[in-house]
Amino acid sequence: MNKSKRPFTKSKRSFRRRLPPIQSGDRIDYRNMSLISRFISEQGKILSRRVNGVTLKQQRLITIAIKQARILSLLPFLNNQKQFER
pLDDT tens over the chain, length 86 residues: 566 666 666 667 767 777 778 877 788 999 999 999 999 998 999 999 999 999 999 999 999 999 999 999 999 888 777 655 55
With contact defined as beta carbons under 8 Å apart, do 26 and 56 qualify? no
Q: How many CB atoms lie within 10 A of CB 83?
A: 5
Nearest CA to 70 out of 33, 38, 25 is that of 33
For residue 64, the model assigns a pLDDT of 96
Query: Beta partners for 46?
Result: 40
